[in-house]
Amino acid sequence: MDAAKDLLKRAVELDTAQKYSEAMICYEQGVQNLLRQMKDTPSEGARKELRLRAEQYLERAEHLKQLIKEQERPAESVHSLRIAPGSTGYSYEAVFERCLDGNVHSVAVQDPYIRVRHQIYNFVRFCELLVKKCKKLSKISLTTTSGESPSESSQASSLTELQESLRERGVKLEVAYSPTLHDREIRFSNGWIVKLGRGLDYFQKLKGPFTIGFNDFDLRPCHETTIEMYHKLNVKSVKTQ
């Protein structure tokens, strides 16, 4: 019995010191000694008390085992995508496929160039993809820069129209303007962080609307760019109010 007490006391000390691997071993050895002691204990009440203590220590050992496994996993998953100039097959659905699932409640987009007509169209296409793939989506936030030239004069009204359209589908679009914004980044509430060298505007301009690739962006040639995707493991999706 003294051996079991010493082992379990040591296990608690190691556990408190966050030395989980050593603590788990001491817990398991201490529980084994308790179980052996229980067999030699004639009193039913004493056996019941020993069994309860053994179950509690064993439960803690199992918890530490899972904790150790999580600590041994990498801090984040990284994927890098290099798009060559003129290459095809990189529609938003193809690029962002791994980021889109039922755990996405909110998406935050930082892109300074959602200003002129085709850039806003790109953002609409991206929002359509989110609505289609993320069934629990409730919020999209966009941070961009404010357009000032004649070709950018419809920026605010276009985004307002998009806000109203998304609202009809139960999705809130928040738009903020930052004159100093430079980084291009998209954050998904399920833990994915995507850094886009050219933002969402990485497709080449076509000759006209009757050119292959005008509607199907998997067939649209791309500009050269790099897209990096990071995933913070064990991130729990939290619904943004």
Strands 172-177 and 185-188, how do they pair?
Answer: unpaired
Rg for the chain (alpha carbons), in Å? 28
Determine the residue type at 76: E
| Segments making up each domain of the chain, as ranges | 2-72, 76-232
The fold of 2-72 is Methane Monooxygenase Hydroxylase; Chain G, domain 1 (1.20.58)
Q: Does the predicted TM-score (pTM) go above 0.85?
A: no
Which residue, among 137, 63, 104, 108, has the nearest Cα to 236 in the 3D structure? 104
| pLDDT category of residue 79 using cuts at 50, 70 and 90 | confident
User: Which H helix or E strand runs over 144?
Assistant: strand 139-144
Q: Which two tokens stand for residue 85?
A: 């100039």
Across 171-183, average pLDDT: 93
pLDDT, one tens digit per residue, over 124-140 is: 999 999 999 999 999 99
Select the CATH number that applies to the domain covering 76-232 from these four: 3.30.1300.30, 3.30.870.30, 3.40.50.720, 3.40.50.300.
3.30.870.30
Provide the b/e sequence for 178-217 (b: ≥16 CB within 10 Å): eeebeebebbbbbbbbbbbebbbbbbeeeeeeeeeeeeeb
